[in-house]
C-alpha cells in the first residue's frame, strides 16, 4: 500500500492512498472514502495505529474512485514529523570515496544527527540554493524509514515491528558554509558545527513521493538505489552496503530516545556524491532519486533568492 499526502483544493494537506486503476495511478482521499473515519492528516492516520491502517488498506482495495495522479500535487508524506533522524557515514563505499577506510561495525556505534522539520520539501518542490552554500550544495540519496509505533528500549529482534513503511529521501547538504565574516578560520568544534549547519538548511530534506508499507518491502537491506542529476547517473548502489541496518539503528537509538509514530529515519548515503568529484548542484539542475519500487523523487534546483551578508549582529 502506498500512503501519500496531497494538496487539497483549499491548499491544506490531505491523506490518501495511491492505487492502480484503469492502467494508471489514482489518488484516493482517505478522509472522503472513509466517510470521515480517517483523518485528513496522514500523520494522524499513522498515529491512530493498526485499525486506521487496516481501514486505509480496505479502501485501497475497494475500487473507490480517485483523482488521476497527474492531476494533483503530492506533498511530503508528513510535513512536520516529530523527529527526522539522519545517519552520518553509514555506507562503506561512501566512507571510502571520502578517503576513509572500511570500518568494523563491532567497535563503533551509529552517528546520528537530527534535521529540523523546516528542511522538508515534497516531491517536485525545488530546493533553493542558499547564499551560505551556493557553490557547495550536494545531493545524498537515502532510504527513509517511517516509524509507526511508540517505543523505547526496543530489542533488535523486534525493531522492524515498529516500522510502518519506507520512502525516498534526499539529504541535501551544504559542504561548506560562507558566513561572510572576514578573517574567519574555522577549525575543530567550529568545523563540526559548520557541517551540521550545512544539513539544517531550508529545503535540504526532499522527501517522497509516498510511503510504501512494510508488507510490500520484504527486505529493506537489499534495495537498488540510483540518483541522477539531469541525465547523468551519479549514485548507483544497494542498501546492502549500509553499515548499520534499520533494526540496529532503531534499537540503538531507543536506548536514549522514544520513537513515536511519524518519526523518520534516513539511512545515510551511498557513494557517488558530488563532493567526492568536486561537482555541485546549480540552478536549473533536476535531481531524480529512485530506490527499488518505492518511486522516484524529483527535486529541481532553484537559484538563491536571499542575500548574503545579512546584518545579524549589533
What is the secondary structure of 83-119 as a DSSP string?
-EEEEES-BHHHHHHTTPPP--GGG---EEEEE-GGG
**How high is the pLDDT of residue 190?**
86
pLDDT band at 252, cuts 50/70/90? Answer: very high
Mean pLDDT, residues 263-290: 97
Q: Which of 261, 284, 295 is nearest to 78 (CA)?
A: 261
Q: Report the percentage of the chain scoring pLDDT > 90.
A: 89
Residue 55 contacts residue 38 (beta carbons within 8 Å): yes
Q: pLDDT tens digits for 16-34?
A: 999 999 889 999 999 999 9
> pLDDT averaged over the chain?
96
| Grid cell digits, residue 211 | 510511503
Rounded-to-integer distance, Cα 213 and Cα 45, Å: 13
Rounded-to-integer distance, Cα 223 and Cα 65, Å: 32
pLDDT band at 77, cuts 50/70/90? Answer: very high
Contacts of 140 by beta carbon, 8 Å cutoff, 6+ apart: 170, 171, 172, 173, 269, 273
Angle (CA) 56 60 65, round 5°: 115
Q: pLDDT tens digits for 113-153?
A: 999 999 999 999 999 999 999 999 999 999 999 999 999 99
Contacts of 198 by beta carbon, 8 Å cutoff, 6+ apart: 133, 136, 173, 174, 175, 176, 177
**How high is the pLDDT of residue 239?**
98
pLDDT band at 202, cuts 50/70/90? Answer: very high
Domains of the chain: 2-75 (no CATH), 84-302 (3.90.850.10)
Q: Which of 245, 278, 178, 210 is nearest to 42 (CA)?
A: 210
User: What does the buried/exposed string (b/e) look like for 224-246 if buried means 16 or more CB atoms within 10 Å of the residue's CB?
Assistant: ebbbbbeeeebbebbbebbbbbb
Q: Which of 277, 312, 280, 259 is nearest to 198 (CA)?
A: 280
- As to burial, measured by CB atoms within 10 angstroms (0-12 exposed, 13-18 middle, 19+ buried), residue 140 is buried
**How high is the pLDDT of residue 184?**
86
Mean pLDDT, residues 57-80: 96
Rounded-to-integer distance, Cα 267 and Cα 85, Å: 9
Amino acid at each position: 500500500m502506498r500512503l501519500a499526502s496531497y494538496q487539497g483544493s483549499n491548499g491544506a494537506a490531505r491523506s490518501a492512498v495511491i492505487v492502480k486503476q484503469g492502467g494508471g495511478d489514482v489518488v484516493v482521499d482517505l478522509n472522503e472514502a472513509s466517510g470521515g473515519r480517517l483523518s485528513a492528516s496522514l500523520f494522524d492516520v499513522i498515529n491512530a495505529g493498526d485499525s486506521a491502517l487496516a481501514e486505509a488498506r480496505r479502501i485501497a482495495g475497494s475500487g473507490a474512485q480517485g483523482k488521476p495522479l497527474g492531476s494533483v500535487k503530492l506533498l511530503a508524506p508528513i510535513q512536520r514529523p516529530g523527529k527526522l533522524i539522519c545517519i552520518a557515514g553509514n555506507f562503506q563505499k561512501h566512507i571510502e570515496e571520502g578517503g576513509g577506510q572500511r570500518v568494523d561495525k563491532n567497535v563503533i556505534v551509529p552517528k546520528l544527527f537530527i534535521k529540523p522539520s523546516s528542511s522538508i520539501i515534497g516531491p517536485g518542490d525545488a530546493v533553493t540554493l542558499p547564499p551560505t552554500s551556493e557553490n557547495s550544495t550536494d545531493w545524498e540519496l537515502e532510504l527513509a524509514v517511517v516509524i509507526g509505533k511508540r517505543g523505547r528500549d526496543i530489542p533488535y529482534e523486534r525493531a522492524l515491528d515498529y516500522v510502518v513503511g519506507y520512502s525516498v529521501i534526499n539529504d541535501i547538504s551544504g559542504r561548506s558554509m560562507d558566513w561572510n565574516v572576514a578573517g574567519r578560520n574555522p577549525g575543530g568544534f567550529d568545523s563540526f558545527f559548520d557541517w551540521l549547519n550545512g544539513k539544517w538548511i531550508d529545503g535540504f530534506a526532499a522527501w517522497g513521493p509516498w510511503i510504501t508499507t512494510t508488507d510490500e518491502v520484504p527486505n529493506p537491506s537489499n534495495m537498488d538505489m540510483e540518483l541522477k542529476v539531469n541525465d547523468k547517473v551519479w549514485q548507483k548502489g544497494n542498501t546492502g552496503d549500509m553499515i548499520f541496518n534499520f533494526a540496529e539503528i532503531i534499537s540503538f537509538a531507543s536506548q536514549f530516545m522514544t520513537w513515536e509514530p511519524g518519526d523518520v529515519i534516513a539511512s545515510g548515503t551511498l557513494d557517488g556524491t558530488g563532493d567526492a568529484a568536486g561537482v555541485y548542484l546549480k540552478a536549473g539542475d533536476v535531481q531524480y532519486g529512485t530506490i527499488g519500487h518505492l518511486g522516484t523523487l524529483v527535486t529541481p534546483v532553484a537559484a538563491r533568492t536571499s542575500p548574503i551578508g545579512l546584518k545579524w549582529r549589533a
